[in-house]
Each structure stands twice: as C-alpha cells, then as structure tokens.
Amino acid sequence: MSREARIEAGFLLRRAQEGENLSMPESRPMPSIGQGCHELRITDVEHRIEWRVVHCVGRLAIAVLEVFEKKTKQTPQDTIANCRRRYAAFKKEDTP
C-alpha cells in the first residue's frame, strides 16, 4: 500500500472512530460480518490497486479486521470467515 493510500485509510478510520457515518463511495456496510462492520474503499493510484479495510467501531476502540487487495467483485469467503472470527473476539473484549 502506498504512503498516500495509508494516509487515506488512516484519515477515514479516524473519521469513523469519531462517529462520522461514512457512506459510498468511501465505505459500505458489511452486515454479513457483524453489526456495525464496514468496508473502507481505498484507491491506491500509485500502485493501481483497490484496497479494502474491514473495520468495526466499538465502545472503546476501533478494530481493523482485515486489509486486503480487492481483485474480484465479491469478497472472498475466507476473508469473511476471518473477519467474523476477529469480530467475535473484538466484541467479547469490547463489552463491559
């Protein structure tokens, strides 16, 4: 991921963490992973790659569940499975 793409991802994650409701084309909900999960869409112009950052904003923190290069229209099933597992672990730690 290029420096510019990392900066963009960090900026969008900060906005989400501060409670801003991001929408298309920057973000889309991922209810198939869990409640409150979203996928950031990052265009890496330098490398000509589309990146996805799956995250969830919790009560105390934001969890980045997966970062991957988008190569197909559908999110790979193994990526969704990993995100679900990480989401469950995050929710367990994020609840009082």
- The number of CA neighbours under 13 Å toward the Cβ of 40 is 30
pTM of the model as a whole: 0.89
Average pLDDT (13-21) is: 93
More confident site: 88 or 96: 88
SS3 label, residue 71: coil
User: Does residue 96 carry a pLDDT above 70?
Assistant: no
d(CA 21, CA 31): 15
pLDDT of amino acid 87 = 96
d(CA 94, CA 38): 17
